[in-house]
Amino acid sequence: MTSPSHYRNSATPVLRRALWRGITFTGVLGVLAAMGFGFAFGAQGVVSALIGAALAAAFLGLTAASVLIAQRFDMVVFFAIVMGTWILKFALFLIAAVLLRDQPWISPLALFVTLIVGVIVSLVTDVTVVAKSRMPFASDVSLPGEDSAQR
């Protein structure tokens, strides 16, 4: 684990920006999908769209949060946290799919479309945030003779 409690990786602002924009856009998607599928399928469409958007936001949030938390640790723990979160997301997806599969109050089409669009929205958001960030080529390094506490 890193020793200074004030240590902040240069990727932290980028990850936070991606997290907040992704959650915001997924929320907007949930409202729009609920309205559209509400007109098409009634209450089932609204509920399904909101569940799909919530699942997309949860998966997006788990990914960004795991990286934000894991970056404070050494490389082995970092990858353990990120891969553990990926496995958790996969298990949660399977559990949600099994539990929601045959529910009479779910519109499978609305749930599927909203979830897929939510994943695409989160990917596009991540790519645009990272592409527009001003990250140096080499960051968070100490040059020989430099004290790491000065950073």
Per-residue tokens: 55: 């699942």
Per-residue tokens: 115: 């979830």
Name the residue with tokens 């980028």.
14
User: How far out from the chain centre does Cα 106 lie?
Assistant: 24
Give this prediction's pTM: 0.76
Write out pLDDT tens, residues 138-150.
656 676 776 655 5
Task: For residues 81-86, give the mean pLDDT.
Answer: 92
> What pLDDT does 126 receive?
78
pLDDT band, very low/low/confident/very high, at 117 (cuts 50, 70, 90): very high
Residue 6 has pLDDT above 50, yes or no: no
Whether residue 51 contacts residue 106, with contact meaning beta carbons closer than 8 Å, is answered with: yes
Whether residue 88 contacts residue 26, with contact meaning beta carbons closer than 8 Å, is answered with: no
